[in-house]
Structure 1
Amino acid sequence: MNPPFLYINDWNEWTAGKYSRGEGQTTDFMRRKSNYSFVDQYNPEFNRCIHPMRGGYTDNYYMQMAQNIRRYKGARPLPVNTGAVDVAVDGAFDDWKAVAVEYRDTAGDTTHRDHKGYGGLHYTNTSGRNDIVTCKAAVNAAQVAFLAETAAGLTPHTDPNWMLLLVDADQNHDTGWFGYDLLVNRKVVDEKTTTVERWDAAAGAWADAATVPLRYAGKSLELALPRDLFGPAAAELAFDFHWCDNPAELKDPISLCTDGDSAPNRRFNYRFLWKAE
């Protein structure tokens, strides 16, 4: 079969029906005592709802939908970075023009939330801070450099959980913190220096790995990590990376996207591919 269209359902699926609880009986529904109840269509394991939820199955079915859409429609070939690029971490940023591959994130997703909900709820979220819009990475014999750009001027580096960079250096989800082996900027030293931490599986915690240069000005931030943090030097290099700003906590990948900004969105990663020539 090769259908030209697919219909995907449902965003939020319920059994069509309102059921009485019986005389004098109520149930807690949407923060109110109700004489009626609505039945969800499936349990979490066999759920067909696409929408993400807080807790429970989180965004598992949303990610599954994205995966299957890509299988059906196909995807563009991943761009490959080629050649060594020498980036000086000096706050000038002009040398990044030599890097052609750009990774993008949706703009405008740091808008603060202040709206009424159902059953007396009021939804408030003011964690949106630095709106990450574009990213780049560059390789030479000594370092792997990263650039992040925001829609408006960057806030000070003294802010909590400021412009965190997570790297899956071996592209193996079974190693590291939910796959991420390196964490940058969790402990920024000053406006010119930051730290890299490596996940210590035995301790179940992040451990200091290196102190590295950092510069930021206006809407741009650049930093560079030692090349040896990515394994032995070779003619090719591949890793995944993810930027986020102002998550309330570092509990799991979902916590990276429920507050602040996440680039790319939700649990997706950018995939960096590089060849010497």
Structure 2
Amino acid sequence: MNRIQFRLLLLLCFFQTCIQISAQNSNPEYMLWNLTATDALGRRFEPASGEQKEKKYVGLFYSLWLGQHKTQQHDVYDIQKLLNSNPGALYDTAGTPESPLKEFHFWGEPLYGYYSMSDPWIVTRHVELLCNTGIDYLCIDATNRVVYTESIENLFTILLRFMEQGFKIPKIVFYTNSLSGATVDDLYNQFYTSGKYEKLWFKPAGKPMIIGITENNNKASDMTKYNQFTDYIKEDVKKYFDVRESQWPNGDYNPAAIPWMSWQYPQWNHNGTVAVPVAQHSHTVIDASAMHPESSRGYNNATKQVEKDWTAGASFQTMWDAVLRRKDSVNNVLVTSFNEWMAIKYANAHGRKHVFFVDVFNHEFSRDIEMMKGGYGDNFYLQLIRNVRAFKLSAGKPYRYANKTINIHTATEQTWADVEATYTDVAGDALCRNFSNATGTGIYTDSSNRNDITEIKVAHDYKNVYFRIRTVADITAHNGKDVNWMNILIADGDTSRSFAGYHYIINRHPGSNGTTSIEQSAGGYRWKKSGVAKYTVRGNIMQVAIPLAAIGIKSTCHFEFKVSDNVTNYDDIMDYYITGDSAPLGRLNFNYQ
């Protein structure tokens, strides 16, 4: 079986495991608004109650190039690891086997490994993560003329699958720059003319938005300011699109352009559109590896100083703060970026007489939001969500749920039909992984997908809280030893004396008599007995009745939770983004009040 056949088989498996959740039992907006999280630095975001009256958009710069440049990437070269263990190889201007010239290097290791964007497992995880952010569109990087057809089709197929299940997906915009006219022609012919992906286009003004260069660019792009440029978007193609001009940080200000980067603070406002980069280029030299202060993730744009803990993202936050201070004049924010991850190693070029990397360099001098191994972890992902909510959404209001007593031994579908607190999770995200890395030098495998959680309903009375958990297929029988089988983790927003904010865990030790364990954290992933819950499993439905007193609830029934199954490293919160299935992913929680 060749690689393309194998990829198609994986996608087919994904489609076959997905089910269409009925409208009656699905409320993705309720799920999105009731997400909460506390990051590793103790910063929280709370539930929301819906979008603000004035429509606002947030886009995210998104890269498709990982795994698509194997002729320029013969192995995995990690700049941060080389800096730590072999800086001589990294800075060798002739290149070495450990760090060759003119080859792509990763600035660090993504949480999901040095992955390929052709991997359906990766893109499924990405789309789920991105749906949970509340962003409106992905701005796909097509600035270097390359159209990554395989990656695009992989992404579009999975976006459509999420959309079919009722999830609010980010729509699609392409950002072109070099040879903009030719690039737009290729994109138009490959992806727009057939109508296959019509539902995916971002259309704030009625037509699919695309960013590129026309005769009206007015030197906003580096292409038109510093070059003799004639490859404009053609007139007949322009009629189909809502065309916005490409804006470079060192170009002339064009109010009709869309910027992806800002060297100004506060940022330029382009008729309501503002750039919010995680970090910036140096303002004076070409390379991020120069490690100028303004290129640090920890650079405070207000004080012009680098803060001690760069993992807190002072540059990103102060850029957002500038937007939030003038929110009335901003209706569109473009964030850079989610998953760039790579830069080419150069030496003795562009007037530089040493080794340099242009756009990104190492953990601190890079600009990705996607979670990483070590370093900043998931800080920037959760920081994005917190600020998107501050920009777009209204503060949450407590829901008023009527008390409802449920006998889990006799309850039917009809018993739960009027329960409003319904949280959905995509069907098909618990997917096996078996795909090459970005360089084709290794295979990533993961077969921890076991029970694919799709829906959770919650109700309570004066004594108990009740959970009803639905999976795609029949829930596997407990094997008598696993402590990670169909767990419910309970949090209250206070991260002290807890496992990543979770104070209680249910069902680490299920019994054969229909009872199961309730345990309280003794600090970290150490647990002590707190009580006993009752549970039933019938087919693909699990029901659990938990005494409120056993999870510390005395009056108002308010808590946060997640349901997880078969997380491999269950004592590491970052693994809840990776293995098994978690609803919701990672450090995110559902709020019940």
TM-score of the superposed pair, with normalisation by structure 2: 0.40
1:74 deviates by 1.1
Identical amino acids, percent of aligned pairs: 31
Q: Indicate the SS of the match to 2:384.
A: helix
Q: Which amino acid aligns with 1:164?
A: N
Give the whole-Å Cα distance in 1 for the aligned partners of 2:582 and 2:525: 24
Q: Which consecutive unaligned segments of at least 5 residues does structure 2 have?
A: 1-325, 349-354
Picking from 82, 107, 113, the partner of 2:401 is 82
Structure 1 residues 233 and 145 mapped into 2: Cα distance closer, same or farther (>3 Å)? same
1:5 and 2:332 correspond:
yes
Mean Cα deviation higher: 154-163 or 89-98: 89-98
Q: Which amino acid aligns with 2:446?
A: N
Work out whether residues 343 and 360 of structure 2, in 8 Å CA contact, stay in contact via their aligned partners in 1: no
Structure 1 residues 49 and 254 mapped into 2: Cα distance closer, same or farther (>3 Å)? same
Work out whether residues 14 and 39 of structure 1, in 8 Å CA contact, stay in contact via their aligned partners in 2: no
Q: Indicate the SS of the match to 1:98.
A: coil
1:195 and 2:517 correspond:
yes
Which residue is 1:70 aligned to? Answer: 389
Q: Which amino acid aligns with 1:107?
A: A
* 1:100-145 deviation per Cα after TM superposition (whole angstroms, max 9, x unaligned): 2201112210111111122511011111111111112111121111
Instruction: Report the structure, 1 or 2, having the larger helix content.
Output: 2
Q: Which amino acid aligns with 1:136?
A: K
Which residue is 1:213 aligned to? Answer: 534
1:238 and 2:558 correspond:
yes
Paired residues for 1:150-165 under 5 Å: 150-158=471-479, 160=482, 161-165=484-488
Give the whole-Å Cα distance in 2 for the aligned partners of 1:43 and 1:229: 46
Picking from 440, 452, 475, the partner of 1:131 is 452
Instruction: Report the structure, 1 or 2, having the larger strand content.
Output: 1
TM-score of the superposed pair, with normalisation by structure 1: 0.83
Picking from 419, 424, 445, the partner of 1:99 is 419
Q: Indicate the SS of the match to 1:133.
A: strand
Which residue is 1:31 aligned to? Answer: none
Paired residues for 1:38-57 under 5 Å: 38=357, 41=360, 43-45=362-364, 47-57=366-376
Q: Which amino acid aligns with 1:141?
A: Y
1:37 deviates by 7.7
Which residue is 1:27 aligned to? Answer: none
Work out whether residues 79 and 101 of structure 1, in 8 Å CA contact, stay in contact via their aligned partners in 2: no
Which residue is 1:167 aligned to? Answer: 490
Structure 1 residues 72 and 46 mapped into 2: Cα distance closer, same or farther (>3 Å)? farther
Q: Indicate the SS of the match to 2:336.
A: coil
Give the whole-Å Cα distance in 2 for the aligned partners of 1:42 and 1:93: 56
1:178 and 2:500 correspond:
yes
Give the whole-Å Cα distance in 1 for the aligned partners of 2:375 and 2:518: 32
Q: Which amino acid aligns with 1:190?
A: S
Give the whole-Å Cα distance in 2 for the aligned partners of 1:121 and 1:75: 46
1:61 and 2:380 correspond:
yes
Give the whole-Å Cα distance in 1 for the aligned partners of 2:448 and 2:342: 35
Give the RMSD, CA atoms, in angstroms.
2.6
Which residue is 2:345 aligned to? Answer: 18
1:65 deviates by 1.2
1:61 deviates by 1.2
1:42 deviates by 5.5
Work out whether residues 131 and 151 of structure 1, in 8 Å CA contact, stay in contact via their aligned partners in 2: yes
Picking from 210, 215, 224, the partner of 2:545 is 224
Work out whether residues 489 and 502 of structure 2, in 8 Å CA contact, stay in contact via their aligned partners in 1: yes
Larger radius of gyration: 2
1:56 deviates by 2.6
Q: Which consecutive unaligned segments of at least 5 residues does structure 1 have?
A: 22-35
Structure 1 residues 92 and 139 mapped into 2: Cα distance closer, same or farther (>3 Å)? closer
